[in-house]
Structure 1
Amino acid sequence: MKHFALLMLLSTGALAQEALTEEELFVAESAPGPAEAVTSFLEAAHEGDFARAAKWLSLEKLNPEVRAVEGPRLARRFMFLLDQFLTLDAAKLNASPGDTVVAAGELPLGRVRIPVQLSKQADGTWHFNSRTVKAIDPLFEENGSPLWELLPQWLIRRSLGPLGAWQWLGLLTMFVIGWALSRLSSAVLRPLLVKLTKLTANTWDDALVLRLVKPLRMFLFMVAMAVGTRALAFPMNAQSTVDDIVRAGLVAAMVWGLIVVGGLIAEALEEKASKDNDFRSARAVRTQVSVLRRVITAIVAVIGGALVLLQFPPVRHVGMSLLASAGVAGVVIGLAAQRTISNLLAGIQIGLTQPMRIGDTVIVENEWGWIEEITLTYVVVKVWDLRRVVLPISYFLEKPFQNWSRTSTEILGTAEVWADYRTDVDAVRAEVTRVVEAQRDTLWNGKVNSVQVTNLTDKAMLLRVLISADDSGKAFDLRCILRERVMKFLQQQQYGLPVLRAEVPLLQNGNGEPPTTRVQRDA
């Protein structure tokens, strides 16, 4: 309480910012460190004493009335974020002498990660700083669960393994709801599909609808689980495991459906062959269909099992081994066929994982271009000068490549210009701002615009102009414009472009001494 009272005095400006007295220095040295601060916060929060836990949050900017309400609420939410998404290592929280800020880790917020930091106060105590406190609500809105805030404290505090008791109950509830919704959906869809199949004369589609009910039910169940578990706000590791299981279930459902469709096609061919008057021909067809059915089913099952295993990182190597074993068949029919099968499998894997898509901007083999076409065996890259680079699809699994639009087409671009030391950098910034503002509706997206001195030599300084654009093509055009305009601007300045500086010794006069007067120098 003494430390907290001292902190409040500091935050209101009642205590002057002066050198610490001997007594204050002793208090600061004996104050708990960042590891103890985190431990104290979590202990108070887990006990349900959020008012006490809020004392470890930097809330100086809030008035006492608001702090009394907001402090416990923020502490409750912050406890959830730390428990679910951050593994704290107390050994890394020990501050060195002179440290004023210590990072405890990072929390995910969309595509970025927000640092969790503790700052040393004037009294020597450590609190979660104001930057971290301001991020609590956005972080909870992104990663939290609206159900969690409605639960009683006694249920929140209980945990079983990596999940809380409420999450286990929620998972069980989602399992039951997903199972019920999958059966209900299939029960609704089945009559509709049966009515549609009655419009056709053949019976093949009728059997297809009846046999696809179970794979469809499994598929819908996995979709329901994928959607429902998001509301439970699992920890990152647990959510990753659930996502792996859901993806594996979706793959298994699709493989199951493919096997069912293949079986129906085989049965239809066998039925058609049985109606043939030529008995020998019918037997030959039935034998061929039976063998092909078993071979195709085995191949689909092996590939499907491998794809299922690929969803789980601990056994991913087993899945890769199963996929690689598909090349054994290629040994029988020749090395060329093995290579073809390898490319086909690579195409299947790329189709599932999608490291690149049609239209993505990529750099492959030092060539900049766009993905124009993706097949099972090769990929066509359209280069900027309209040439086409054709690469085997296995290339994108075996070698690294740059994808500039994997998650977003937005990109940063730079334009570097050498300038004299006497160049007015602020004037260059103003000129760059004027240029990019003129391109706001066409090239510049209005997000990033800066000019920095990034290098110094004995002759000049390097100015780097950093801008942002909606895609790489616009960024390239804007970079070219900036180089031209900045160069033109520097040419118009008295001290703009870099010059070569040299020390030239003066000629000596007839006495062997350097000239001392202007007349002597002009002579």
Structure 2
Amino acid sequence: MSTRTILAVAVAVVVAAGLLAGGRVQRRPGGRRYRWLLAPLYRASRVPAVAVLLLAALYAGLRAHPGVRRVVVVLLIASVAWLVLRALHVAERVAFSRLAGETRADRRVRRARTQIRPVRRLTSVMVTVAAIGLILTTFPALRTIGLSVLTSAGVVGALLGLSARTALGNAFAGIQVAFADGLHVGDVIVIDGQWGRVEEVKLTNVVIRLWDDRMLILPTTWFTEHPFQNWTRHETRVIGQIRIHVDHTADLDEIRAETRRLVESSPLWDRHQWVLQMVDATPQTVVVQVQASAADGPSAWDLRCDLREGLIRYLRDHHPEWMPRTRSEYHP
């Protein structure tokens, strides 16, 4: 090993030792302002950073041994990609830790959580593909393939485009969904008559927890091609409604008083608003609609069930004559 190589490795070792000692520096009072970023970045990146320094020193010091230099270059590219991926994960975790813990409390928090993760995943994919392309270019026999991977052109790019056309479409749709401000993590949405809460927005699919705890997974392209209801577009409050049929002789004022009692005694009602209205009439019945607000989708669902059950029980026990009836006349 030449003197130049020894000197380069020695310098790299000294710098790496200084990097490993950086944990003490970040604990000093002067570093408190940025400790929330420096501490996790140091813990996650020190090993790949040391690997990059040592490999870079070896590459700079080695002049002979082409085979050894190629191995060092491959390891250096992989180490740089490793370092960048670690930094991206740290950035994502730090960004999430700086957000409020309750994602439903703030629309801006939900939007940030929805946008950060797809961007990090897309960037990680780009870094990985770039690293693979650079590694392939270090081998003369694979240089063309490596350039094709880097430029997304040529035969390999065409094959990848044809085989992954759906995945790429979903990935671009995921970016569109994340930044279109129409769907965020924590939103309550209705799809094909079923409501649920958005659990996760990925590049290729959206995970929704339905009201009965089933998990519905849809491709992101579904949300760019089909309409859906977003009950929490601007706030988390949800207004639930029920409809019941009663006889034309029913006293709506008395039903309204019982509804007020049921609503005000329910812990699910958020004390914001409620209303009872006659919204339709048929030859046999009148249709009474009750609307009441709740803090979120699950609470609104339970409140609707409780109100429906309470009103039916009240009509059955106290005014069975107000239940829907079929009338007929007989003329001898």
Amino acid at match of 2:173: A
* Structure 1 segment 410-421 matched on structure 2, within 5 A: 410-421=237-248
In the alignment of these two chains, the number of paired residues is: 213
**Take 2:293 and 2:259, find their aligned partners in 1: how far apart are those partners?**
13
Cα displacement (A) at 1:354:
4.8
1:278 pairs with 2:65: yes
**Take 1:340 and 1:389, find their aligned partners in 2: how far apart are those partners?**
18
CA distances 1:239-272 after superposition (whole Å, capped 9, x unpaired)? xxxxxxxxxxxxxxxxxxxxxxxxxx99997665
> CA separation of 1:490/1:280 partners in 2, compared to 1, >3 Å: closer, same or farther?
same
3-state SS in 2 of match to 1:331: helix
**Take 2:263 and 2:192, find their aligned partners in 1: how far apart are those partners?**
32
TM-score (norm 2): 0.54
CA distances 1:61-80 after superposition (whole Å, capped 9, x unpaired)? xxxxxxxxxxxxxxxxxxxx
1:201 pairs with 2:18: yes
**Take 2:197 and 2:262, find their aligned partners in 1: how far apart are those partners?**
28
**Take 1:397 and 1:333, find their aligned partners in 2: how far apart are those partners?**
23
Which one of the candidate residues 303, 319, 328 is aligned to 1:478? 303
Cα displacement (A) at 1:463:
0.9
* Structure 1 segment 13-32 matched on structure 2, within 5 A: none
CA distances 1:192-231 after superposition (whole Å, capped 9, x unpaired)? xxxxxx997259x9xxxxxxxxxxxxxxxxxxxxxxxxxx
3-state SS in 2 of match to 1:348: helix
1:488 pairs with 2:275: no
> CA separation of 1:488/1:367 partners in 2, compared to 1, >3 Å: closer, same or farther?
closer
CA distances 1:103-151 after superposition (whole Å, capped 9, x unpaired)? xxxxxxxxxxxxxxxxxxxxxxxxxxxxxxxxxxxxxxxxxxxxxxxxx
CA RMSD between the two structures: 3.6
3-state SS in 1 of match to 2:322: coil
Q: Does the CA contact (< 8 Å) of 2:58 and 2:72 recur in 1? A: no
* Structure 1 segment 56-455 matched on structure 2, within 5 A: 201=18, 273-276=59-62, 278-282=65-69, 330-439=157-266, 442-455=267-280
**Take 2:320 and 2:178, find their aligned partners in 1: how far apart are those partners?**
59
Partner of 1:502: 328
> CA separation of 1:272/1:438 partners in 2, compared to 1, >3 Å: closer, same or farther?
farther
Q: Does the CA contact (< 8 Å) of 2:171 and 2:204 recur in 1? A: yes
> CA separation of 1:272/1:418 partners in 2, compared to 1, >3 Å: closer, same or farther?
farther
Q: Does the CA contact (< 8 Å) of 2:209 and 2:215 recur in 1? A: yes
**Take 2:229 and 2:152, find their aligned partners in 1: how far apart are those partners?**
29
Amino acid at match of 2:324: P
Q: Does the CA contact (< 8 Å) of 1:330 and 1:341 recur in 2? A: no
Amino acid at match of 2:269: W
Q: Does the CA contact (< 8 Å) of 1:420 and 1:497 recur in 2? A: yes
Amino acid at match of 1:273: Y
Cα displacement (A) at 1:419:
1.1
Partner of 1:466: 291
Q: Does the CA contact (< 8 Å) of 2:207 and 2:218 recur in 1? A: yes
Amino acid at match of 1:489: Y
Q: Does the CA contact (< 8 Å) of 1:327 and 1:341 recur in 2? A: no
**Take 1:349 and 1:404, find their aligned partners in 2: how far apart are those partners?**
20
TM-score (norm 1): 0.36
**Take 2:326 and 2:192, find their aligned partners in 1: how far apart are those partners?**
39
Amino acid at match of 2:251: D
> CA separation of 1:365/1:281 partners in 2, compared to 1, >3 Å: closer, same or farther?
farther
3-state SS in 1 of match to 2:277: strand
**Take 1:414 and 1:428, find their aligned partners in 2: how far apart are those partners?**
16
> Which structure exhibits the higher relative contact order, with contacts defined as CA atoms closer than 8 Å and separated by 6 or more residues?
2
Percent identity of paired positions between Structure 1 and Structure 2: 31
| Greater mean alpha carbon deviation, residues 396-405 or residues 463-472 | 396-405
Amino acid at match of 1:333: L
Unpaired runs of 5+ residues, structure 1, are 1-197, 206-264, 294-325, 507-523
**Take 1:332 and 1:267, find their aligned partners in 2: how far apart are those partners?**
37
**Take 2:54 and 2:173, find their aligned partners in 1: how far apart are those partners?**
32
3-state SS in 2 of match to 1:201: helix
**Take 2:56 and 2:301, find their aligned partners in 1: how far apart are those partners?**
61
Amino acid at match of 1:338: R
**Take 1:367 and 1:356, find their aligned partners in 2: how far apart are those partners?**
16
3-state SS in 2 of match to 1:417: strand
Cα displacement (A) at 1:500:
1.6
Amino acid at match of 1:391: L
> CA separation of 1:338/1:493 partners in 2, compared to 1, >3 Å: closer, same or farther?
closer
**Take 1:199 and 1:388, find their aligned partners in 2: how far apart are those partners?**
47
> CA separation of 1:383/1:275 partners in 2, compared to 1, >3 Å: closer, same or farther?
farther
CA distances 1:450-489 after superposition (whole Å, capped 9, x unpaired)? 1111111111111111111111211111111211222222
> CA separation of 1:200/1:465 partners in 2, compared to 1, >3 Å: closer, same or farther?
farther
> CA separation of 1:348/1:450 partners in 2, compared to 1, >3 Å: closer, same or farther?
closer
Amino acid at match of 1:497: M
Amino acid at match of 2:183: M
